Amino acid sequence: MGSTILAQTALEDDSDKPSTVAIDLTTGQQRWLVATRVVKSGDSQELVVTSGNPVIVSCNSDADTCLFEAVDLQAGTIKGSSHVQAEPGSTDEVHVTVTPTSLEAVVGWDHVVGFDPTTAAVQWRWPS
């Protein structure tokens, strides 16, 4: 995004627990880091980049919930977040789609959620 590259990085011996990092492309210096949200085996985390900022999607396999967190690109702080239950189904059935103006996720087998891509606030659900 501009002069910043975003990545998920993890230690070799703990590769299931990625942190999200921003690197300045000019200097090669780390700008910020958001610690992993993964607690245990079976949980997952993914980085989604919208037109304005990154969104971290972390899913708790025991609770079958996912946390969507919008990250401020400059500061690396959380601008907003939403918890969504993966039902019916499980967090294995979470799939995210990004367009220039939107962020949607299939959460569970037949449940679609639309998010504000800048704050990760839930805007709509289908079925409602």
Q: Which of 34-38, 50-54, 67-71, 91-95 has the lowest mean pLDDT?
A: 91-95
- Higher confidence at residue 115 or residue 10? 115
Question: Which of 69, 85, 74 minimizes the C-alpha distance to 36?
Answer: 69
Q: Domains (ranges, CATH) in the chain?
A: 4-126 (2.40.128.630)
What is the model's pTM?
A: 0.91
Q: What is the pLDDT of residues 62-121, one digit of tens each?
A: 888 999 999 999 999 999 999 998 877 777 778 899 987 889 999 887 789 999 999 999
Percent of the chain having pLDDT more than 70? 98
- Tell which phi-psi region holds residue 109, choosing left (phi > 0), alpha (psi between -120 and 50) or beta: alpha
Q: What band does 51 get if pLDDT is binned at 50, 70 and 90?
A: confident
